[in-house]
Amino acid sequence: MCPPLFGSPDFLEPPVYRPPSEAYSLILQATLGCSHNKCTFCGSYRTKQFSTKPFETFQAEVEHLARVQGVRPRRIFLADGDALVLSTEKLQRILKLLYKEFPGLERITIYGSAANTKQKSDDELRQLHEAGLDMVYIGLESGDDEILRRVIKGATNQDHIDACRRMIDAGLKVSVIIILGLGGTERSKEHAEHTATTINAIDPPYLAALTLMLVPGTELHAQAQEGSFNPLNPLETLHELRQIIDKLTDLTSCVFRTNHASNYLQLRGVLSKDRPRLLEEIDSVLSQPETARHLRPEFLRRL
Ligand code: SF4
């Protein structure tokens, strides 16, 4: 969810967000905004009324990019907030169109939610994978049900486990996103513990951690201003991350990254083999915070 966008500026309706690993993907908007748009920490699509793009409009944009501009992407990210909300039939038409118009296209990815997944049968998820949908990014945010309720995520921890397991069983890759500090000081311990338990239950191939940023205009920002939400400081955030990683012991082959611009510390590794090294990296910062050079300064953090 950060710039620069490697997309089709002619057709993009801002604001546009994408995961860090889609930095060099062509961004195409199949929907505008987020169908949920209620999370108290998220200001991403507050200015956008959710809508779906008519297939004919999407098709005309794709044909222009392919046939007039000669765009030849290897990767495409389907935006906006949860394009997986589209019907399976429409998504299949979109996937077919993209592979037809862009020879050399290797993968298509998308943001989705537990609610979107619940609307699709196992068979439909399999059909989407067979039609060339490669990976779904899903915001778990926290495995703690109390936090999910407070931030109005619209799904429980079990909803997320079920959704992710069903997608993985259908052949889709799943990249799970969590937000450090989302429970504030009050629920940091529960956030760490329940998030780790949930991730272990999902056993995703990819896991990314973001760090909470209080966005003006959101309910969570207002709660912090009035003192009913107490955000973590950078070292408390790292301590929370350490607690999570320490408990991620049941994963098969999960690539973990904190490469999002909101994070204080950049980490990367395969949890099943690199967990001790990742914990050491965090410990070296926690033990000598005053000399820690690797922490991203506050003014450089962004969404
Ligand atoms: S966090 Fe995701 S689901 Fe929640 S409002 Fe923002 S884009 Fe929508």
CA–CA separation, 183 vs 260, rounded Å? 19
Pocket mutation for ligand 1, best pick of 44, 80, 178 (most atoms within 8 Å of C-beta):
44
Tens-binned pLDDT, residue by residue, of the chain (303 aa): 444 445 566 789 999 999 989 999 999 999 999 999 999 999 999 999 999 999 999 999 999 999 999 999 999 999 999 999 999 999 999 999 999 999 999 999 999 999 999 999 999 999 999 999 999 999 999 999 999 999 999 999 999 999 999 999 999 999 999 999 999 999 999 999 999 999 999 999 999 999 999 999 999 999 999 999 999 999 999 999 999 999 999 999 999 999 887 888 899 999 999 999 999 999 998 998 776 556 776 766 566
Q: Which residues contact 178 (CB under 8 A, 6 or more apart)?
A: 140, 141, 142, 143, 195, 199, 207, 208, 209, 210, 244
- Structure tokens that stand for 261 in this block: 């611009």
Reported as half-sphere exposure (CB side, CA atoms, 13 A), residue 225 has a value of: 9
| Residue 52 three-state SS | strand
Q: What is the DSSP letter of 205?
A: S
Which atom of ligand 1 is least distant from the CA of 153? 4
| Residue 249 three-state SS | coil
* Residue located nearest, by CA, to atom 6 of ligand 1: 42
- Structure tokens that stand for 226 in this block: 């009035």
Domain ranges of the chain: 20-300
Residues 200, 202, 206, 207, Cα dihedral to 10°: -60
* Residue located nearest, by CA, to atom 4 of ligand 1: 39
* CATH superfamily label, 20-300: Aldolase class I (3.20.20.70)
- Asked if 31 and 83 count as a contact pair (C-beta separation under 8 A), the reply is yes
- Asked if 135 and 112 count as a contact pair (C-beta separation under 8 A), the reply is no
Pocket mutation for ligand 1, best pick of 42, 153, 175, 213 (most atoms within 8 Å of C-beta):
42
| Closest-CA residue to 248 (of 178, 188, 195) | 195
What are the Cα distances from residue 29, in Å, to 26, 102, 217, 264?
A: 10, 16, 25, 30
CA–CA separation, 36 vs 12, rounded Å? 21
Q: Which residues contact 180 (CB under 8 A, 6 or more apart)?
A: 209, 210, 211, 212, 232, 237, 240, 241, 244, 263
Q: What is the DSSP letter of 175?
A: E
| Closest-CA residue to 183 (of 215, 156, 150, 157) | 150
Query: Separation of 119 CA from ligand 1 center, angstroms?
Result: 17
Q: Phi, psi at residue 263, to the nearest 5°?
A: -85, 150
